[in-house]
Structure 1
Amino acid sequence: MTEQLNRLRWRCRRGMLELDAWLEGFLDTAFGHLDPVEQAAFGRLVEQEDMDLYAWLTGQASPPAEFQAVIEKIRKVTSR
């Protein structure tokens, strides 16, 4: 699991400070509580383009269905 987390942490480092904060914050606080399906979706999510991620996380665009639940959880965790 540590190797997986290290890879995910690397992928959470983006070109936008906001994305770094949201994604790494979520990885640190909530990723371990996700079920395996959601963990896999998060892994695919961090492979997406920065502008798409930003639009989905800010609510400017609707994410694809496969990412909807994870996006909602990221928003909930990082809005505190």
Structure 2
Amino acid sequence: MTEPHDTKIKRLRMRSMRRGIKEMDLILQAFAEAHLHGFSDEALALYDQLLSENDHDIYGWIGGQFPTPAQYLDLVTQIASKAEGVTRPD
């Protein structure tokens, strides 16, 4: 059985705010609230896959400390564009 679109969004929103480090809670929760409703099923699947990665890796990709894997580059770029003050304090 496939997961209904709205249920998937609710699950991903919860996973976005219950991370291993507080910075990722803030970044991903804000991103999920603002963008997940407009995502296709394919985009939600990629975001779900991203959430399975290590928080310190994701934080490093968003902050530009190390290269983002190709499959996540567009998504991480989108997330990072809204997370400026959290990843690199003014």
Listed one character per residue, the Cα deviations across residues 27-76 of structure 1 (whole Å, up to 9, x for unaligned) are 00022233443322111101111111111111111111110000000011
Give yes or no for contact 1:11–1:47 (8 Å, CA) kept in 2.
no
Query: How many residue pairs are counted as aligned between the two chains?
Result: 80
For normalisation by structure 2, the TM-score amounts to 0.76
For normalisation by structure 1, the TM-score amounts to 0.85
Query: Percent identity among equivalent residues?
Result: 28
1:20 aligns with 2:25: yes
Q: Distance in 1 between matches of 2:29 and 2:55?
A: 14
Which residue of 3, 20, 30 maps to 2:35? 30
Match of 2:11 in 1: 7
Match of 1:65 in 2: 70
5+ residue gaps, structure 2, are: 86-90
Q: Distance in 1 between matches of 2:60 and 2:13?
A: 21
Q: Which has the higher contact order (CA 8 A, sep 6+)?
A: 1
